[in-house]
Amino acid sequence: MDPEAAKTARESLELSFQMSNILDTGLDRHTLSVLIALCDLGLNPEALAAVVKELPTEALSSPPPPPPPASSSSS
């Protein structure tokens, strides 16, 4: 990527991040950049938004996974 394109991409991400903060989305820069990249690849933005809205509720409502069984070694 040429330097001018990289600068434009950084500025676009920064602007998107500022808008995200104003809208109180709770998205960090990395997550936002991944979502933008997925949209650039042709994924449906409305479908992505639905997934993003569901993930936090699922993560909070799901019980934590059980700890792995302890391995016992016999000598």
Kindly report, residue by residue over 48-68, the tens digit of the pLDDT: 999 988 887 655 555 667 778
Structural domain includes residue 69: no
Structural domain includes residue 73: no
Q: Is-above-0.75 flag for pTM?
A: no
| Residues in the chain with pLDDT values less than 50 | none
pLDDT given at position 43 = 96
Domain count, the chain: 1
Give CA–CA dist 59/67, Å, rounded.
17
60's tokens: 């909070």
37's tokens: 């990249």
Structural domain includes residue 27: yes
Give CA–CA dist 65/72, Å, rounded.
21
pLDDT given at position 69 = 81
